C-alpha cells in the first residue's frame, strides 16, 4: 500500500475517553480518526470552526433534524475529502473538483466508502482545463472554494459565483488573494468566521 495512504491508527490507540466536543465530536470525524488516524486530516480545513460556521451560514439550529440546506454543493480542492464528508450532511449531493497528485487521489474514496456515504461525486481533474469544463458543466447552489488560493482565487470565484452562495477558505491576511477578493465584495453580503480563516458570501453574482 502507498505510504501516503497507510492508516495511522497509532495515534488513535493513545486517545483515552470519548470525543464529546469540538470538530472531532462529529460522528464522521470520529469514525475517520478511529479508522485512518491523523493522516486523514492532513491539509484539511475541517479541524477547527468549519462545521460550526457552515451550520451558522446555512441557518441550521442545534437540534434541527433536517440538515439538508440545498441541492448541490460544488467543492473546489478536496484532497482526502474531509470537508466534502461534512458538507454531504447538508446537501442532496456534493460534487468535488480537485487537481491532485496521483498518489493523493485514492484516500478520499476509501474514507467515503468506509463511512457509507453515497452522495459525493469526485472529479479528479488532470489539469485546469478539465477542472474548468467540469465546473462550467455542473449545476450547484452552494460552493466551497479550497483549491490553489495563491493562483486561482479570482478564477475559481468567477467559476462558481453564479450560484450566489460561496464559502472561501484562507480568508486571512496571510493569503492576500482571498483577503482582497472578500474585502472588495459588498460587505453586507459577507459573513466572517470568528476564529477561523473562513468567509461566506451570499449575494448577487457580479457576472465577471
Ligand X SMILES: C[S@@+](CC[C@H](N)C(=O)[O-])C[C@H]1O[C@@H](n2cnc3c(N)ncnc32)[C@H](O)[C@@H]1O
Report if residue 51 touches ligand X, rule: CB under 6 A: no
Report if residue 29 touches ligand X, rule: CB under 6 A: no
Residues 97, 185, 75: CA angle, nearest 5 degrees: 10
If we measure between CA atoms, which residue out of 166, 163, 204 comes closest to residue 182?
A: 166
Comparison of 66 and 73: residue with beta carbon closer to ligand X? 73
Q: How far is the CB of 151 from ligand X (least distance, A)?
A: 7
Segment contacting ligand X by CB under 6 A, of 39-47, 65-73, 109-117, 190-198: 39-47
Backbone angles phi, psi at 155, to 5 degrees: -70, -35
Q: How far is the CB of 16 from ligand X (least distance, A)?
A: 26
CB 76 within 8 A of CB 52: no
Q: Which residue has the cell 451550520?
A: 55
Report if residue 79 touches ligand X, rule: CB under 6 A: yes
Backbone angles phi, psi at 118, to 5 degrees: -125, 15
- Which residues, in sequence order, are bridge partners of residue 124? 98
Q: Is the dihedral of CA 72, 107, 151, 185 positive or negative?
A: positive
Q: Report the b/e string of 75-108 with b at 16+ CB within 10 A.
A: bbbbbbbbbbbbbbbbbebbbbbbbbeeebbbbb
Segment contacting ligand X by CB under 6 A, of 53-61, 110-118, 146-154, 180-188: 146-154
Name which position in 23, 74, 89, 147 contacts ligand X (CB under 6 A): 147
Segment contacting ligand X by CB under 6 A, of 28-36, 38-46, 113-121, 196-204: 38-46
Comparison of 125 and 182: residue with beta carbon closer to ligand X? 125
Name which position in 83, 88, 153, 177 contacts ligand X (CB under 6 A): 83
Report if residue 152 touches ligand X, rule: CB under 6 A: yes
- Binding mask 95-134 vs ligand X (x if CB under 6 A, - otherwise)? ---xxx------------------------------x---
Pairing mode of beta strands 198-202, 165-169: antiparallel
Residues in contact with ligand X by the rule CB under 6 A: 43-46, 76-79, 82-83, 98-100, 131, 146-148, 152
Amino acid at each position: 500500500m502507498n505510504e501516503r495512504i497507510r492508516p495511522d491508527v497509532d495515534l488513535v490507540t493513545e486517545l483515552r475517553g470519548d470525543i464529546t466536543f469540538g470538530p472531532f465530536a462529529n460522528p464522521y470525524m470520529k469514525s475517520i480518526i478511529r479508522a485512518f488516524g491523523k493522516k486523514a486530516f492532513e491539509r484539511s480545513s475541517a479541524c477547527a470552526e468549519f462545521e460550526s460556521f457552515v451550520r451558522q451560514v446555512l441557518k441550521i439550529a442545534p437540534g434541527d433534524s433536517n440538515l439538508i440546506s440545498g441541492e448541490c454543493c460544488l467543492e473546489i480542492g478536496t484532497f482526502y475529502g474531509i470537508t466534502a464528508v461534512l458538507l454531504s450532511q447538508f446537501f442532496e449531493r456534493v460534487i468535488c473538483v480537485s487537481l491532485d497528485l496521483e498518489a493523493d487521489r485514492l484516500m478520499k474514496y476509501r474514507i467515503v466508502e468506509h463511512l457509507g456515504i453515497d452522495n459525493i461525486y469526485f472529479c479528479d481533474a488532470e489539469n485546469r482545463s478539465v477542472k474548468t469544463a467540469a465546473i462550467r458543466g455542473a449545476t450547484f447552489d452552494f460552493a466551497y472554494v479550497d483549491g490553489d488560493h495563491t493562483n486561482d482565487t479570482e478564477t475559481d470565484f468567477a467559476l462558481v459565483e453564479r450560484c450566489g452562495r460561496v464559502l472561501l477558505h484562507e480568508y486571512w491576511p496571510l493569503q492576500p488573494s482571498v483577503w482582497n477578493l472578500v474585502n472588495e465584495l459588498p460587505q453586507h453580503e459577507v459573513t466572517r468566521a470568528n476564529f477561523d480563516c473562513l468567509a461566506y458570501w451570499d449575494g448577487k453574482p457580479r457576472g465577471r
